[in-house]
Amino acid sequence: MSLPLSDQERRKQISIRGIVGAENVAELKRGFNRHLHFTLVKDRNVATPRDYFFALAHTVRDHLVGRWIRTQQHYYERDPKRIYYLSLEFYMGRTLQNTMINLGLQNACDEAVYQLGLDIEELEEIEEDAGLGNGGLGRLAACFLDSMATLGLAAYGYGIRYEYGIFNQKIRNGWQVEEADDWLRHGNPWEKARPEYMIPVHFYGRVEHTAGGTKWVDTQVVLALPYDTPVPGYMNNTVNTMRLWSARAPNDFNLRDFNVGDYIQAVLDRNLAENISRVLYPNDNVSQGFSLCVMSGTGLRCHVMPCEPFPVCPVPIPLLSQFFEGKELRLKQEYFVVAATLHDIIRRFKASKFGSTESVRTVFDSFPDQVAIQLNDTHPAMAIPELMRVFVDIEKLPWNKAWDITKRTFAYTNHTVLPEALERWPVDLVEKLLPRHLEIIYEINQRHLDHIASLFPNDVDRLRRMSLIEEGGTKRINMAHLCIVGSHAVNGVAKIHSEIVKSEVFRDFAELEPDKFQNKTNGITPRRWLLLCNPGLAEVIAEKIGEDYVRDLSQLAKLHEFVDDDLFIREVAKVKQENKVKFALYLEKEYEVKINPSSMFDVHVKRIHEYKRQLMNCLHIITMYNRIKRDPVKLFVPRTVIIGGKAAPGYHMAKMIIKLINAVAQVVNNDPVVGSKLKVIFLENYRVSLAEKVIPATDLSEQISTAGTEASGTGNMKFMLNGALTIGTMDGANVEMAEEAGEENLFIFGMRVEDVAELDKDGYNAQQYYDRLPELKQAVDQIQSGFFSSDEPDLFRDVVDMLFHHDRFKVFADYEAYVKCQEKVSELYLNSKAWTKMVIRNIAAAGKFSSDRTIKEYARDIWHVEPTDLKIPPPNEPREGAEDRTPNGTAARA
């Protein structure tokens, strides 16, 4: 239970979270009581906490709806170029507080709920996370939607309304156990079903080539039912739409040969169709670092167990068949979302033409001037052949014209440099599921290779490397190559990543079309990742530099003037300590471990994966433990090490890493010699709402992936903005963070990209590091001998074996530099003032990492639209009051 604010504190709140206002409060209370009364009359007499949450959510939603309608009317009348962000993941988290902040209602809602005798924090905790994503890629999409609305772009997010989101992680006896995330079981107050826009999506069937054109016939149909969720911009009355598709079976059962058994089976078969939107696939896209599955002969990787390149794959054939059935469902998901979305996009394109009396557009020449489609990784790549199918087969456009329009419409964002993470679909599977699309992909590939051959005669190897179809064994379609060939722009998500994309991963394509490749460094929305999760820090900053930084994060640079301001230093340190105390209480309640709030909160939260090197952190924990045991009286900077993240259910090594961390924690936390000097917590079920708690309380942010493996990262930016210092490698966006803040203001260690390449060339020998470094040897020996698993001494044999013989990410090579860098961290932490000054320098340098900046770059360089300062009038004001402050009155159009 949070303590109620005093009258003085409530009146002190800063306007970046909205004006209180007696009229606002009274209106909100009336709305709350109206919605609560409706619930009680309908269902029962006694209100539950969940009833109170829904009453508040519906009250806030009432303030959204008028703005939402007015925004869509504005787009219809102005007919700006629309931006369509296609993503299989949108990791939205909770919506209530974010909506209150963006509408300027936070303070008024706080006051209204307080006057009603309720605790707003308790109500906010009732809301389920919308966990429709695995991690960074899905959360980036969510931040982008917030920024597109805040910048006044006519943008739409399109994805799948998964019935079950990313699994709930339970830790039982140290092991990860997955439970279904039934996030819709209590209903979702933010979504609106739109059955009037339901769309048929086709699968299977066959292709007929006739004099009248090509037809895809005898297909199975699944209906796509859209659910719309409003996405409000920050204080500008713009409310955009996220449209998520849900699969529904059609009702036309064939009952001519009716009997009970057939009828029952027909009803049960509906589930097969509706399974398409049943569950989010866990992130298995790096194939868990496993080797090729030899027995299957497919060239695909096995997700059933962690195999090595044995002469014969030990996985039974039935398990392999289950693996491929799962893959078919995933491809169905990918096509389902793009087919429904493109149908919707073309309907909207045809239905509006500003300044014209025509009811529909019938010519597609202006399509790329009105439509920009951004592919968030390769998952929506089937949109390219699908748009070609619509243009050529249905709209009867000539191939060359259709291809020109398609290329000018699409742009592709790459999110990984790991070669095995790039999607490759077996040709046999695509032929079975989408036969017409395979024909189109073959035609695209033939024309593409003809062009390459004309430029590089007799260069067969180049043709092989650049082909969309990978030969050898089972034929596969390289979806990244399809995206590159079918798009007018390709971007990486950090400078270093974009360079690796151009110089290594897609070198041939970049040499052919260098201007196509760009960089768009990722960003985060400051609304959720500062105002919402860290209001204390947001207000301290606003008192110094004003409130405009919320819309223009580059203004944080003004904080450089206050680096030596003793009062400001104390205020920043005070906010951090308050956040730590609050989070320590949460940890004690959830994990029954006494936490010292004055200890350094050393936090490593992200997906569990070998390349993110949670194992290196674990080795450092063991090293610290051994040092304390060796010399208990020596001065030691107390640490609370917090590690969190989910492992893909089929990723054996990641699950072993979680078990190891928990086993080490069990020993460390219960050793009386160690006491409060070192505590280790594994955060169960890490998710957006938990990130909002831990990030503001963090002192040290761990960003320690092997150089050249992390595309960008966005957690690093969130920690930086919230006053944590970073220990990290020169990887992903860490490089640009060091550029912005100065490398001396981050704890940078370890190999650079060129060092890793040199080590690969020479051959990485883990044994050499083990033999040379006594503390590393001791830690590894303890893991291997069963020191942390006395009941099962061989438990971590696979982990140790991997570290010595199959570690692509070279944990031992960076161990020594990492431990030495951690010693520098501890030394600085002893000097609170110097530490906080470095924190302020980092916050002041965080302005670049706003998703507003990222979206402005996408808008100007890729989508060719201009953001706008236009503030659409609220529903209670005349629409003529809209003021367009973009150049030439172009609003959302370039």
Question: What angle is formed at CA 779 by the lines to CA 774 and CA 785, rounded to 5 degrees?
Answer: 115
| Residue 635 tokens, joined | 């001065």
Annotated catalytic residue 607: yes
Average pLDDT for residues 744-752, to the nearest whole number? 98
The pair phi, psi for residue 205, each rounded to 5°, is: 80, -160
- Rounded CA-CA distance 878/482 in Å is 48
pLDDT in tens, 576-612: 999 999 999 999 999 998 999 999 999 999 999 999 9
Spatial contact of 639 and 617, defined as CB atoms under 8 Å apart: no
Identify whether the C-beta of residue 299 lies closer than 8 Å to the C-beta of residue 471.
no
Closest CA to 90 of 253, 270, 243, 198: 243
In this prediction, residue 526 carries a pLDDT of 98
Instruction: Name the band, by pLDDT with cuts 50, 70 and 90, for residue 541.
Output: very high
Q: What is the mean pLDDT of residues 535-542?
A: 97
H helical segments located in 212-316: 260-274
Catalytic residue among 17, 424, 520, 612: 612
From 312, 282, 280, 308, select the one nearest 296 (Cα to Cα): 312
Q: Which of 606, 613, 655, 837 is catalytic?
A: 606
CA dist., res. 710 & res. 737, Å (int): 14
pLDDT-derived band at 565, boundaries 50, 70, 90: very high
**Whether the predicted pLDDT of 315 surpasses 50:** no
Tell me which residue of 580, 546, 545 sits closest to 565, measured CA to CA. 545
Q: What CA–CA distance (Å, rounded) separates 100 from 362?
A: 42
Looking up tokens 């189109």, which residue turns up? 440
Question: Nearest 5°: phi and psi at 725?
Answer: -90, 150
Sign of the dihedral defined by the CA atoms of residues 582, 584, 589, 594, in that order: negative
Of 35, 74, 607, 609, which one is the catalytic site residue? 607
Whole-angstrom distance, CA of residue 187 vs CA of residue 138: 22
Q: Is 856 a catalytic residue?
A: no
- Could you say which DSSP state residue 560 is in? G
Helix/strand/coil (H, E, C) string of 319-334?
HHHHHHHHHHHHHHHH
714 is catalytic: yes
Q: For position 251, what pLDDT does the model report?
A: 78
Identify which has the larger pLDDT, 257 or 154: 154
Position 409 confidence tier, pLDDT thresholds 50, 70, 90: very high
Q: Report d(CA 662, CA 46) in Å as an integer.
A: 42
Give the 3-state DSSP-derived string for 412-430, with helices as H, strands as E and coil as C: EECCCCCHHHCCEEEHHHH
**Which has the closest alpha carbon to 88: 441, 375, 301?**
375
Query: Catalytic annotation on 718?
Result: yes
Place of tokens 């539950």: 48
Specify whether the CB–CB gap between 668 and 619 falls below 8 A.
no
Among 39-53, 308-322, 788-802, 872-886, the range scoring the smallest mean pLDDT is 308-322
Distance of CA 612 to the CA centre of its chain: 16
Nearest Cα residue to 609 out of 665, 657, 663: 657
Q: What is the pLDDT of residue 714?
A: 96
Q: Which residues pair with 883 in a beta bridge?
A: 871
DSSP of 773-787, one letter per residue? -HHHHHHHHHHHHTT
List, in sequence order, every beta strand (DSSP E) within 265-323: none
Are 328 and 433 in contact, with CB atoms under 8 Å apart?
yes
- Contact between 866 and 564 (Cβ < 8 Å): no
CA-atom Rg of the chain in angstroms:
28
User: For 183-202, what is the mean pLDDT?
Assistant: 97
- Decide if pLDDT at 529 tops 60: yes
In terms of pTM, does the model score above 0.75? Answer: yes
Cβ atoms 620, 818 nearer than 8 A? yes
The count of residues in the chain is: 894
CA distance 386 to 437: 7
Cα angle: 818, vertex 821, 826; to 5 degrees = 125
CA distance 736 to 712: 10
| Beta-carbon contacts of residue 524 (< 8 Å; ≥ 6 apart) | 143, 714, 717, 718, 721, 849, 850, 851
Listed range (275-289, 380-394, 576-590, 836-850) with the worst mean pLDDT:
275-289
Active-site residue identified among 78, 243, 718, 856: 718
Q: Which residue has the tokens 């370890």?
A: 750
Cα gap 530→271, rounded to integer Å: 42
* Annotation marks residue 606 as catalytic: yes
Query: What type of residue is 413?
Result: T
b/e sequence 75-106, b meaning 16+ C-beta within 10 Å = beebbbbbbbbbbbbbbbbbbbbbbbbbbbbb
What rounded mean pLDDT belongs to the chain?
A: 90
Say if residue 263's pLDDT is above 90: no
- Among 378, 525, 714, 726, which one carries the catalytic annotation? 714
Among 29, 61, 82, 415, the one annotated catalytic: 415
Provide the terminal-to-terminal Cα distance of the chain, rounded to the nearest Å.
50
Q: Cβ of 762: how many Cβ atoms within 10 Å?
A: 8
Answer yes or no: is pLDDT of 38 > 50.
yes
DSSP state of 501: I
What gap in Å lies between CA 241 and CA 228, rounded to an integer?
6
CB proximity list for 677: less than 8 A, separation 6 or greater: 628, 636, 638, 639
Position 310 pLDDT exceeds 70 = no
Mean pLDDT of 177-186: 94
Cα atoms in the 13 Å half-sphere on the side-chain side of 48: 7
The 10s digit of each residue's pLDDT in 107-160 is 999 999 999 999 999 999 999 999 899 888 999 999 999 999 999 999 999 999
